[in-house]
Amino acid sequence: MSPNLLLVIVVGVLFAAGVTLLLERNLTRVILGITMLGNAVNLLILLGGGYGGPPIVGVTPEARMSDPLTQAMILTAIVITLGMTAFLLAMAYRSWLLNGHDDVQDDVEDRRIVQLAERDQGLADQDTADEPSAAGAGGQQ
C-alpha cells in the first residue's frame, strides 16, 4: 500500500503555496494561506491512512478498506479549520472597517524602540560633533 504519488505532490505544492501566502502582510492572503495549509495537512493525514476502498462493512472486503480513523480525524480538523477561517475573516473585515485596509501592522512598541535607538544614534553623532553633551537624554525611559 504505497501512497498515491499525485496526492503527495499536491500536498507538497499546497504546503509551499500556503507558506508563501502566510508570509504576506495582507490578512486576506494570510487567511488563504492558512486554508491551503489546512487542506495540505488534511490530505497528509488521509495519505497516512493508506489507500483502499470505502471503509463500510459489506461494501469493501476488510483487507482492502482504507483506515476510517484518519477520515474521522480529518472531519474534526475540517470543522476546526472552518471555524478558525470564519473568525479570521471576521477579523479581517473588522480591521478593514477600522483602518480601511487589512494589513497586519507593526508592533507599536517595536516601532518606538527603533525610534529610541535612532534618536540615541543621532545624539551620539551630535556628541562627537560638539562637546557639550546632552547628558542623560539618551537613556530616557
Instruction: Enumerate binding residues for another protein (CB under 8 A).
Output: 22, 27, 30, 34, 37-38, 41, 44-45, 47-49, 69-70, 73, 76-77, 80, 83-84, 87-88, 91, 94-95, 98-99, 104-105, 107-110, 113, 141
Between 128 and 141, CB nearer to another protein? 141
Coil, helix or strand at residue 119: helix
Q: Smallest gap, in angstroms, from Cβ of residue 44 to another protein?
A: 4
Q: In terms of CB distance, is 80 or 123 closer to another protein? A: 80
Q: Which residues on neighbouring strands pair with residue 88, listed in sequence order? A: none
Following DSSP, what letter does each residue of 48-84 receive, concatenated?
A: HT-S-B---BTTB-GGGB--HHHHHHHHHHHHHHHHH
- Closest to another protein by CB, 41 vs 65, is 41
Report in angstroms how near the CB of residue 107 gets to another protein at its nearest.
5
* Shortest Cβ 54–another protein spacing (Å): 18
Choice between 4 and 126, CB closer to another protein: 4
Q: What is the total residue count of the chain?
A: 141
Least distance (Å) between residue 133 CB and another protein: 23
Instruction: Name the H helices within 2-141.
Output: 5-22, 27-48, 68-99, 108-129
Burial zone of 15 (CB within 10 Å; 0-12 exposed, 13-18 middle, 19+ buried): middle
